[in-house]
Amino acid sequence: MSKIDPELKKKLLKESQNPFKGLRRILWIAFSGSAFLGLLIMLSKIANGNELQQNNLFIQIGACILFPILLFLDKNKD
């Protein structure tokens, strides 16, 4: 018989099937916040009359879409 607590064993098995989940979620939240902050800064520059390259704006909008989607897909499926 195993001397490991059944709850601990269940938790360890879950972690081994999906490693670094907590770290990934923290990174997705940080990247999402950074993308939205960058978009806000870009929009404020546009509002002030500065010109921006259209590609940069599209990349920023893409990041604002991509990172929250990755955060949503990384949620618990239990």
User: Can you give the chain as a three-state secondary structure string?
Assistant: CCCCCHHHHHHHHHHHHCCCHHHHHHHHHHHHHHHHHHHHHHHHHHHCCCCCCHHHHHHHHHHHHHHHHHHHHCCCCC
pLDDT digits (tens, 9 = 90+) for 9-49: 888 888 888 788 889 999 999 999 999 999 999 999 999 99
Q: Model pTM greater than 0.85?
A: no
